[in-house]
Structure 1
Amino acid sequence: MIKAVIFDMDGLMFDTERLMMLAWDYAGEKMGLGKTGHMVLKTLGMNRILSREVWKEEYGEVFKAEELDLYTNEFFEHYYSENDVPVKTGLYELLSYLREHHYKIGAASSTYIEKVKHHLNNAKILEYFDVVVGGDMVEKSKPDPQIYQKASELLGVKPDSCYALEDSRNGLLAAYRAGCKPIMIPDLWQPDEEISRILYAKRNNLSEVIDILKDNHNNNC
């Protein structure tokens, strides 16, 4: 029986992956590399450290992590001075349903915990979460299962009693390897044959997860 739902953040709760593509296009041009937004697709679900390794493989010695951070932050400081974090369809509806029906709720994001909590607070949903785990709270990045193992442990729920909501290959693999039931809500990437085999379900948006929860409840009554 499902007792908890664990959310990824970027591309799942918030439309931040597309924003990151714009930010990295901006940063790439500032660094003299041209538009580099495509690197988002190569680093989906990765933490900061692993992501930087992929950048180094792509651009070699001309890539400077400190410059990327500088210009990425510059882009986001300007964006968030005028805009709130963009919320994905169905997020508020799903969170309300989970609270009403007494599910435990967790977040497991490769993004550093400070930024995760900032975004959740900005969207006025931080209070919904019993547990928030950021990428800097575990040693290994997705697709390693460690972050989902930690989230389920802190929730006090076995992984096989958790739905894990994800949009990326690395995130889905992490959830599956931890023993959670991975549900995919596609964002920038559609599942290949390997990922399709490990999915518990796939839905178009977060509100559609409610029907899965209702079916789970009815089957266990």
Structure 2
Amino acid sequence: MIKAVIFDFDGTIIDTETPWFEIYRNALKEDHNFDLTLEEFVKIVGTTNDTLFDFIDESLASPMDRNLFKEKTRSHYAKIKNELPLRDGFLDILQQIKDNGLQLAIASSSHREWIVGFLDKYELTDYFPIICSAEDVEEVKPNPALYIKALEALGVKPDEAMAVEDSVNGSLAAIQAGINCLIIPNDVTKSLTFHENAKLIQSYSEFDCDLFLNKNTWISKLMEQS
């Protein structure tokens, strides 16, 4: 029996990743004449930016000023941040999960201040009494530490929890923690190939709460997918 649902944040609750890609791509083209592809960008979705910056530095004549780049892109992002909507259908599913008596948590590679800012804006703080963020672990996703931390806080076993993710790195973290993982990709991650042990749906409109309430139902659905 599933007792808890653990949500990723960026790209899963709010699609913060599509605008980040557009801002990064434009800034790199303008400042360094570097063409950032979606294929390279998705490699860092769900984890940190260091891998992407290392790749870019290898392609440039001299290393980029990462602090200056971060300052510029964050400034651009701040102008649109308050306009970002929740993903379609998310609120309905969140309420269904809560109405079914399941516990809720967030496990995200982002910083707590970033997550809480959005939760406050959309009045979702009360839904998520447990937030595990970058500050809580030494390594973020795809390392499973965030999910292990969330399980401990929830007081449930791995097979009593469900993770909802949008990225390869996030799904690997959940699976390595022994948690059943549902993937709902966004525009940035929808073309990726995900782990065979994850269940993939295309939108929250396909989300079936019965899937989470019975472990046997989950297993049968996963077998249908394969």
Q: Which of 204, 216, 219 matches 1:206?
A: 204
Partner in structure 1 of residue 19 of structure 2: 19
In structure 2, give the amino acid aligned to 1:171.
G
Provide, for residues 200-219 of structure 1, a one-character-per-residue CA deviation record: whole Å limited to 9, x for no partner: x2212224323444762896
Provide, for residues 132-165 of structure 1, a one-character-per-residue CA deviation record: whole Å limited to 9, x for no partner: 1112221112111101000111111112111100
Unaligned runs of 5+ in 1: none
In structure 2, give the amino acid aligned to 1:146.
A
Question: Could you tell me the TM-score, scaled by structure 1's length?
Answer: 0.86
Aligned pairs for 1:4-15 (under 5 A) are 4-15=4-15
Q: What is the alpha-carbon distance in structure 1 between the residues aligned to residue 104 and residue 52 of structure 2?
A: 32
Partner in structure 2 of residue 184 of structure 1: 183
Number of residue pairs the alignment of both structures matches: 212
Q: What is the alpha-carbon distance in structure 2 between the residues aligned to residue 186 and residue 55 of structure 1?
A: 24
In structure 2, give the amino acid aligned to 1:172.
S
1:212/1:63 CA distance change after superposition, 3 Å:
farther
Aligned pairs for 1:1-221 (under 5 A) are 1-36=1-36, 38=38, 39-47=40-48, 51-60=49-58, 61-80=62-81, 83-187=82-186, 188-189=188-189, 190-192=191-193, 195-199=194-198, 201-213=199-211, 216=214
Provide, for residues 101-125 of structure 1, a one-character-per-residue CA deviation record: whole Å limited to 9, x for no partner: 1110011111111101112222221
1:102/1:215 CA distance change after superposition, 3 Å:
closer
**In angstroms, what is the RMSD of aligned CA positions?**
2.3
Aligned 8 A contact 2:14 2:87 in 1? yes
Q: What is the alpha-carbon distance in structure 1 between the residues aligned to residue 34 and residue 71 of structure 2?
A: 16
Provide, for residues 162-181 of structure 1, a one-character-per-residue CA deviation record: whole Å limited to 9, x for no partner: 11001111111100000110
Q: What is the alpha-carbon distance in structure 2 between the residues aligned to residue 32 and residue 217 of structure 1?
A: 50
Unaligned runs of 5+ in 2: 218-226
Deviating above 6 A after TM superposition, structure 1's stretches of 4 or more consecutive aligned residues are none
1:97/1:57 CA distance change after superposition, 3 Å:
same
Q: Secondary structure at the match of 2:171?
A: helix
For structure 1, which segment, 22-31 or 83-92, has the greater mean C-alpha deviation from structure 2 after superposition?
22-31
Q: Secondary structure at the match of 1:116?
A: helix
Q: Percent identity?
A: 29
Q: Secondary structure at the match of 1:45?
A: coil
Provide, for residues 17-37 of structure 1, a one-character-per-residue CA deviation record: whole Å limited to 9, x for no partner: 101112212332453244536
